[in-house]
Structure 1
Amino acid sequence: MNPSLHTDRLLLTPYTPADEEEFVALFQDVSVSRWMGDGPSTEAEDRALFGRIFSKVYAENRFEVWAVKVGGELVGHAEIKPTEASGGHELIYALAPSAWGRGLGTELALALVGHGFGTLGLTEVHATVAAENAASLAVLGRIGFAHVRDIQEDDGSTTRLLTCPRDSAPAVRTPGSSETSHTR
């Protein structure tokens, strides 16, 4: 089962059924969902996705998925999971517009990287980001991710594959603890 993680401002916890409405609201926000997967989905599809987190992901211990909260309010979604596109573990995150511009994306990405290197023992972590998503590309670039290659999508768009090797990452605090993991 997913561990809970915390940073200075964020609490990452496994979802509970009570999180469904906030999850759906996050994924129904077009400014968020345009960068997720294949883009905006219907409300029914997002509710089904939320259900699969419990029936598949958590039940079968497939990978780690968290509700991202600030002061008890759900402000985002996070995952770290193996993916075919990256050939390794990929971090995935989304924040509500109310959380933008406050450094929470960087804090969240660092927590996921720290968990990947610390708890999961990975030697590198990956991310796939739409080439037009300048904010996410900037966050990941600041914390040690480098562009590896472009992926041409069926719809003609470009997705960037980024990788952060353990020896290139900044020193990060292992989420949920006071210890610092020096990854250089």
Structure 2
Amino acid sequence: MTDLHTDRLLLRRWRDSDLAPWAAMNADPEVRQHLGEPLTRERSDESVARFEAAFERRGYGWWAVEVRATGEFIGFAGLDDIDYEAPFTGVEIGWRLARSAWGHGYATEAARAVLAFGFDTLELPEILAVTTATNLRSQAVMTRLGMTRDPAGDFDDLDAPEGPLRPNVLFRLPRPTEA
């Protein structure tokens, strides 16, 4: 399975040593602000098992992200098949970082590596990104990546409770054409 390298980051498969910091991230209400309620340790560990199973099944998914200089685990970034109720289908990019990693450009850097993998290795025709309408930080990353908002794809996540987690926005990035 492919590790992805950037100047500052390593995107790699998950290790047992990632479980505690991943659980701490998922228990942080600020990290979970646009995702729903904080997760228990058990649910957090189960998510990693799902991530690893997806890698085994299809060869891509959510990579653990670490800072190369220190080896510190700071979150995840990757690709996932859209398998939920939405007015579109495809493969979406995503990321989630610990608060200590916010504001350093890591999400954009990791996402660029993921996009390159999706387009160059998987030869995807398009990569999508979805977030809540109130998640302006993630939308800013999407814009920095060159993604374009597609209001026709915006939808309400009916699995989310009434409130700010329900309205979702869609961004798209087509595969770059060779010049």
Q: TM-score range by the shorter chain?
A: 0.7 to 0.9
Q: CA–CA distance in 1 between the matches of 2:24 and 2:59?
A: 25
TM-score (norm 1): 0.81
Shift of 1:183: 6.2
SS class of match (1:31): coil
SS class of match (1:22): helix
Give the structure 1 partner of residue 64 of structure 2: 67
Structure 2 unmatched runs, 5+: none
Q: CA–CA distance in 1 between the matches of 2:140 and 2:39?
A: 26
Instruction: Report % sequence identity.
Output: 34
Give the structure 1 partner of residue 134 of structure 2: 132
Give the structure 2 partner of residue 81 of structure 1: 80
Q: CA–CA distance in 1 between the matches of 2:178 and 2:62?
A: 23
Cα RMSD after superposing both structures: 2.0
Give the structure 2 partner of residue 106 of structure 1: 108
Match 2:51 to one of 50, 53, 59: 53
SS class of match (2:30): helix
Shift of 1:6: 0.7
Q: CA–CA distance in 1 between the matches of 2:172 and 2:106?
A: 20
Q: Which has the higher strand share?
A: 1
Q: CA–CA distance in 2 between the matches of 1:153 and 1:94?
A: 19
Deviation digits for residues 67-106 of structure 1 (CA, Å, limit 9, x no counterpart): 1000200011122021143411101110111111111111
Give the structure 1 partner of residue 31 of structure 2: 32
Structure 1 unmatched runs, 5+: 168-181
Residue 172 (structure 2) pairs with residue 163 (structure 1): yes
Give the letter aligned to residue 81 of structure 2: P
SS class of match (1:161): strand
Match 1:43 to one of 32, 41, 44: 41
SS class of match (2:14): coil
Deviation digits for residues 147-167 of structure 1 (CA, Å, limit 9, x no counterpart): 112111222321111111123
Q: CA–CA distance in 1 between the matches of 2:115 and 2:28?
A: 26
Residue 17 (structure 2) pairs with residue 18 (structure 1): yes
